[in-house]
Structure 1
Amino acid sequence: MTSMGKLLSRRSLLAAGGVAGGLALTGCSRGPVAAIAGTASNDPVAPYRTPYKLDELVLEGSHEPGTFDEKAVDCPFVFWHEGQFHMLYTGWDGTGYQTGRAVSKDLVNWKRAGIMMARDPDDPVTRYNISCASILRENELYSPGRLLKVDGRYLATWHAYPNPGYEEGAAVIGLAWSDDLVNWERTEPILRPEDGAPWERGGLYKSYITKQGETYFLYYNAKTEGDPWKEQTGVAISRDLKRWSRYSGNPILRNGDEGAPDSWFASDPVVYTHNGEWSMYYFGRAADGKCRELLAIGDSPINFKKVPDIIVDKGRPGSIDEHFAHKPSLVYNDGALYHFYTAVSGTWPNDVRGLTVARSKPW
């Protein structure tokens, strides 16, 4: 994306509040209470709901000058590894993105564990930014998110913007390999926006990788060119992790009609399985400029139907997620489904962007 003096960045566009007279959906959070109503046992969406917000940040910018996550943290990805939970997150230092890791025993109290994937000043692709968005994990929603190996190694996905600044330029997507989750070997980009259809030529965003049988599915959201743009979600498919084909039916998750909570953005997909169904959690951006967590359910990795309910809404004025509740990651622990997301409050450019969680049972 271009600078504020030219086109709005994605973050500032979101913060600008959208189009006047847009959708007027209200948040439901009042402390650690339900984000939405309707969890009756006869509700077919009940297994996917996480209506109880913690209503406080579990991780925020370090505020320590010179650290990779000084200004803000974003894009959680939570998983179980070696006796504890880990969370990948994107740190913003005022120049660009890098990827950090935090650890926790209880999914609420998190300790920073340092940079996991750093930008490379000698690499023209990642010299300013790299955000590791997912590591291949078990597909089951009701699981702690144990990692899977491919040929004895961990497999991750990342995206990188070509210029310094907040999401400056059209990002590409690549893979990375590791033996220990600390040292990573990155591939050349596997998806570039210029190779795609018009809906994605403005740039690619966060990717999420799954495996079904011998086939890999790489989900990602992307934007159209121009300003304002639209964001939708597609999938690329591979059997060998080298040759990738964009699905001919892309985008598999399209913008909703005018007035829908995803009429502008249908973004940041994460995909799980449960009871023979495939679920795609994602965030929508509506014409009111706000972001909310949404859900689509399908019978295969490429066919999804949107659920009409908002799964996690933005919060009340003054709350930690008064503007945005978006960018999901889910794990199951101790009888509850935990739904991590990025919360945004305050006023751009001094807004507060941090990570929080809602879950399926009261706190």
Structure 2
Amino acid sequence: MSDLKTPIDQPGLILTPGSAGWWDSERVSSPQVLYCPDGTWRMWYYGRDASFDRQINLPTGRCGLAMSADGINWQRVPGSLTMGAVFEPHPDPSRFDSAHVGVSNVYFHDGLYWMWYFGGDRTVVEMGEFKAKGLNMRPGCAISRDGIKWVRLESTYRGAFLDLGKVGEFDALFCAWPQVLPDDDGMWKMYYHTLNPKRGFLVGLAISTDGFHWEKVGEILAAGEPGSFDERGIGTRHVLKINRQYVMFYEGVNNSGYHSIGLAISDDGIHWQKEKGEQAGGSIFSPAQKGSGRWDARAVGTPCVVALDDGSFRLYYIGANEGGHDELSSQHQIGLAVSAGTNFRQWQRWGEI
């Protein structure tokens, strides 16, 4: 539980897997970071230990919390659930989140922490020769007063707030990694993504007047052109308002399986225009150099952007190393990049010279 200092030869790295006996001793992933009203930084994230169900070929499993005085050096907070987790699969096998869960959005509202998460059950999905458990994922919500003990909110679809699309619809496989944005006009927007076997990863949108009852708008963002960093599609994303515009930082994947972060802009949060970045394939933040042996040389993703009082930004992300052939054979760890002043289109890893 000691603070972690970034290794000189691994710039950006701020949180590694936990020690033996912790729920996250194999991997940590998807940081959701808040600078809280009490002046502390809190990071919720998901991960797993090596004993978690290997048929679920995702980095998800359970969720935990770390705290920091500066948003850079973190200390784990022991939860009361399995091996120190603060959130885990539901024990009821009939629920949507009974096999694995992952946090994808946390915000503070009306004196409560609101966690939007996703989960899957033990259904095995077959796509050709590929089989995987827990892929039919849906979004859920939980609330907490302290960020440690969570109470699930119940909704229509076996506890979830959205159901899968019908056969032939773009989101028939899963509706996962939700991010909810309470908007200035009183409407709520839920951004999520899915995987379409023919078209790759796609972003969807649902809207609500109360944050509880949702109506799907449909697909809003798709794969990029051949040769681009997102030619196989768009996955996790973080939408926030900057200078009265909607700005989406999103994770794209290319045909070689390398993940980078890109940018899209919108005036209404519904219709989006991608911006071409200055890094590889049009991204704004790319993996470390191939063959470098760096902790994030294969993938940077699950962006979480925090605006600071001085107008600059922090980008918390996961990195994956090269050498793995799937989600469970690569090493997921958590990193930090900082913007070039107020320019959220240019980033540098924390500690990079």
Structure with higher strand content: 2
Contact preservation (8 Å) 1:62, 1:70: yes
Q: CA deviation at 1:334?
A: 6.6
In structure 2, C-alpha distance between the alignment counterparts of 1:167 and 1:324, rounded to whole Å:
23
| 1:311 maps onto 2:284 in alignment | yes
CA contact (8 A) 1:89 1:99 kept: yes
Deviates more, 1:201-210 or 1:112-121: 112-121
For the 8 Å contact 1:101–1:112, the answer to whether it is kept is yes
CA distance in structure 2 between the aligned counterparts of 1:196 and 1:98, rounded to whole angstroms: 30
Q: Does the 8 A contact of 1:56 with 1:320 survive in 2?
A: no
Residues 244-323 of structure 1 mapped to structure 2, 5 A cutoff: 244-247=214-217, 250-309=218-277, 310-316=283-289, 317=291, 318-323=293-298
Q: Which residue of 1 aligns with 2:188?
A: 216
Q: In the aligned structure 2, how far is the partner of 1:54 from the partner of 1:338? A: 18
Give the residue type in structure 2 aligned to 1:359: V
Q: Which residue of 2 aligns with 1:101?
A: 65
What is the TM-score of this pair, normalised by structure 1?
0.75
Closer, same or farther: CA 193–105 of 1 in aligned 2, 3 Å:
same
> Which residue in the other structure is 1:61 paired with?
17
Number of the residue aligned with 1:341: 317
Report deviation, 1:229. Answer: 6.2
Per-residue CA distance 1:4-50 (angstroms, 9 max, x = gap): xxxxxxxxxxxxxxxxxxxxxxxxxxx99xxxxxxxxxxxxxxxxxx
Write out the 4+ residue segments of structure 1 that deviate beyond 4 Å after TM superposition: 164-167
Can you give the 5+ residue segments of structure 1 that lack an aligned partner in the other structure? 1-30, 33-52, 137-146
**Counterparts of 1:28-39 in structure 2 under 5 Å?**
none
1:168 aligns with 2:141: no
2:121 counterpart of 1:148: no
Structure-2 separation of matches of 1:86 and 1:154: 11
Structure 1 counterpart of 2:27? 72
- Percent identity over the alignment is 21
Which ranges in structure 2 are unaligned for 5 or more consecutive residues? 1-6, 54-60, 79-84, 125-131, 278-282, 341-347
Q: Is the 8 A contact 1:99 1:131 kept in 2?
A: yes
Match of 1:239 among 205, 209, 212: 209
Q: Out of 120, 124, 133, which is 2:104 matched to? A: 133
Partner residue of 2:148? 182
User: What amino acid is the match of 1:59?
Assistant: L
d(CA) in 1 for partners of 2:240, 2:133: 27
Distance 2:322 2:260 in 1: 16
Change (3 A) 1:131 1:350: closer
Corresponding position of 1:158: 117
> Of the candidates 171, 177, 191, which is equivalent to residue 200 of structure 1?
171
Evaluate the alpha carbon distance shift between residue 167 and residue 204 of structure 1 in structure 2; reply closer, same or farther with a 3 A threshold.
farther
SS where residue 233 of structure 1 aligns? strand
Match of 2:56 in 1: none
Q: 1:356 aligns with which of 332, 335, 339?
A: 335
Deviation at 1:134, TM superposition (A): 0.8
Alignment TM-score, normalising by the size of structure 2: 0.77
Q: Alpha-carbon deviation of 1:323?
A: 0.4
AA at the equivalent of 1:206: W
Matched residue, 2:81: none
The residue that corresponds to 1:112 in the other structure is 76
> Judging changes above 3 Å, is the alpha-carbon distance between structure 1 residues 164 and 183 closer, same or farther for their aligned structure 2 residues?
farther
Alignment: residue pair count: 296
Greater RCO structure (CA 8 Å; 6+ sep): 1
- 1:258 aligns to what SS in structure 2? coil
Q: Take 1:196 and 1:334, find their aligned partners in 2: how far apart are those partners?
A: 46
- Contact kept? 1:345, 1:353, Cα under 8 Å: yes
Give the letter aligned to residue 329 of structure 1. C
Q: Is the 8 A contact 1:101 1:113 kept in 2?
A: yes
Displacement of 1:241 in angstroms is 2.6
Separation in 1 of the partners of 2:288 and 2:266?
Answer: 28
Q: Which moved more, 1:100-109 or 1:332-341?
A: 332-341
Q: After superposing the two structures, state which structure 1 stretch, 91-100 or 259-268, moved more.
A: 91-100
**Which stretch of the first structure deviates more once superposed, 87-96 or 189-198?**
189-198
The alignment partner of 2:46 has SS state of strand
Deviation at 1:196, TM superposition (A): 8.0
Q: Which amino acid aligns with 1:184?
A: W
1:296 Cα deviation from its structure 2 partner? 0.3
